[in-house]
Amino acid sequence: MIHFDHVWKRYPNGREALCDLTLEIGRGEMAFLTGHSGAGKSTLLKLIALIERPSRGTLIVNGQNTATVPRAKIPPFRRQIGIVFQDHKLLMDRPVYDNVGLPLVIAGIPEKEIGKRVRAALDQVGLLGREQNRPIELSTGEQQRVGIARAIIGKPSLLIADEPTGNLDPDLSIEVMNIFKRFNEVGVTVLIASHDVHLIERYGVRRVILEGGRVAGGAGEPPPELPSMVAV
Amino acid sequence: MKQWFERHLQTLVGSLGRLWQKPFATLLTILVIGIALALPACLHVLVQNVRAASGGWSNALDVSVYMKQSASLDDARQAAERIRKRRDVAEVTVVKADDALEEFRKNSGFGEALDALKDNPLPHALVVRPAEEFRGPGHIAGLTEELRKLPGVDIVQLDTEWVSRFNAILDVVRRVVFLAAGLFALGILVIVGNTIRLDIENRRDEIEVTKLVGGSDAFVRRPFLYNGVWYGLGGGTIAWLIVAVVIVVLSDPVQRIAGLYGSSFSLQGLGGEGSLALVLGGAVLGWLGSFIAATREIRGIEPK
Query: Could you report the predicted ipTM of this complex, rounded to two decimals?
Result: 0.87
What pLDDT score does A167 carry?
76
Per-residue pLDDT tens over the stretch A112-145: 899 999 999 999 888 998 999 999 999 988 999 9
**Domain check: are A135 and A49 in the same one?**
no
What pLDDT score does A44 carry?
93
Average pLDDT of the segment spanning B181-188: 93
CB pair distance less than 8 Å for A150 and B212: no
CB pair distance less than 8 Å for A51 and B213: no
CA distance A160 to A41: 11
Average pLDDT of the segment spanning B130-159: 80
CB contact A108 to B (< 8 Å): yes
Percent of chain B with pLDDT over 90: 37
**Domain check: are A110 and A218 in the same one?**
no
CA distance B122 to B110: 14
User: Contacts of residue A147 in chain B, CB cutoff 8 Å?
Assistant: none
Instruction: Place A190 in a pLDDT band, splitting at 50, 70 and 90.
Output: very high
CA distance B291 to B302: 18
**Domain check: are A11 and A76 in the same one?**
yes
On average, the pLDDT of chain A sits at 88
Whether A190 and A30 have beta carbons less than 8 Å apart is answered as yes
In a domain, A125, yes or no: yes
**Domain check: are A160 and A229 in the same one?**
yes
Instruction: Place A221 in a pLDDT band, splitting at 50, 70 and 90.
Output: very low
CA distance B291 to B169: 38
**Strands A30-34, A206-211: pairing kind:** parallel
Instruction: Place A97 in a pLDDT band, splitting at 50, 70 and 90.
Output: very high
* Closest approach of A91 to chain B, Cα-based (Å): 6
**Domain check: are A104 and A215 in the same one?**
no
Average pLDDT of the segment spanning A73-91: 92
In a domain, A52, yes or no: yes
Whether A84 and B212 have beta carbons less than 8 Å apart is answered as no
Q: Which residue is closest to A43 within chain B, CA to CA?
A: B304
CB pair distance less than 8 Å for B209 and A83: no
In a domain, A173, yes or no: yes
Query: Between the CA of residue A166 and those of A149, A176, A206, what are the distances in Å?
Result: 18, 11, 20
User: Contacts of residue A89 in chain B, CB cutoff 8 Å?
Assistant: 208-209, 212
In a domain, A178, yes or no: yes
**Domain check: are A172 and A134 in the same one?**
no
In a domain, A163, yes or no: yes
Dihedral over Cα of B291, B293, B294, B300: its sign: positive
**Domain check: are A138 and A163 in the same one?**
no
Check residues A121 and B7 and name the one with the higher pLDDT.
A121
* Closest approach of A192 to chain B, Cα-based (Å): 17
What pTM, to 2 d.p., does this model score? 0.75
Q: Give Rg (Cα) of chain B.
A: 32
Check residues B52 and A187 and name the one with the higher pLDDT.
A187
Q: Which residues of B touch A (CB under 8 A)?
A: 3-4, 6-7, 10, 205-206, 208-217, 219, 302-304
In a domain, A51, yes or no: yes
The residue from A155, A176, A197 where one domain ends is A155
Average pLDDT of the segment spanning B45-49: 87
The number of domains in chain A is: 2
Instruction: Spell out a b/e string for B84-120, using b for 16 or more CB atoms within 10 Å of the CB, else e.
Output: eebebbeebebbebeebbeebeeeeeeeeeeeeeeeb
Whether B248 and B186 have beta carbons less than 8 Å apart is answered as no
The residue from A155, A177, A197 where one domain ends is A155
**Strands A206-211, A64-65: pairing kind:** unpaired
**Domain check: are A174 and A76 in the same one?**
yes
In a domain, A85, yes or no: no
**Domain check: are A147 and A167 in the same one?**
no
Instruction: Place B57 in a pLDDT band, splitting at 50, 70 and 90.
Output: low
Q: Which of B212, B216, B302 sits opposite A83 (nearest CB)?
A: B212
CA distance B3 to B30: 31
CA dihedral B116, B119, B122, B125 (to 10 degrees): 140
Average pLDDT of the segment spanning A199-227: 73
Least confident of A119-123, A194-198, B73-77, B137-141: B137-141
**Domain check: are A97 and A142 in the same one?**
yes
In a domain, A87, yes or no: no
The residue from A129, A155, A181 where one domain ends is A155
Instruction: Give me the domains of chain B, ranges plus CATH numbers.
Output: 2-57+164-299 (no CATH), 61-159 (3.30.70.3040)
**Domain check: are A232 and A175 in the same one?**
yes
**Domain check: are A22 and A122 in the same one?**
no
Whether B234 and B33 have beta carbons less than 8 Å apart is answered as yes
B234, pLDDT greater than 60 = yes
CATH number at residue A73: 3.40.50.300
**Strands A2-10, A30-34: pairing kind:** unpaired
CB pair distance less than 8 Å for A107 and B214: yes
Per-residue pLDDT tens over the stretch B65-106: 888 888 888 888 888 888 888 888 888 888 888 888 887 777
Backbone phi, then psi, for B171, in 5-degree steps? -60, -40
Q: Hey, which of A23-32, B115-124, B256-265 has the most confident mean pLDDT?
A: A23-32
User: Contacts of residue A108 in chain B, CB cutoff 8 Å?
Assistant: 3-4, 7
**Strand intervals (E) in chain A:** 2-10, 16-25, 30-34, 56-61, 64-65, 81-84, 158-162, 189-193, 206-211, 214-217
Domain extent for A97: 92-155
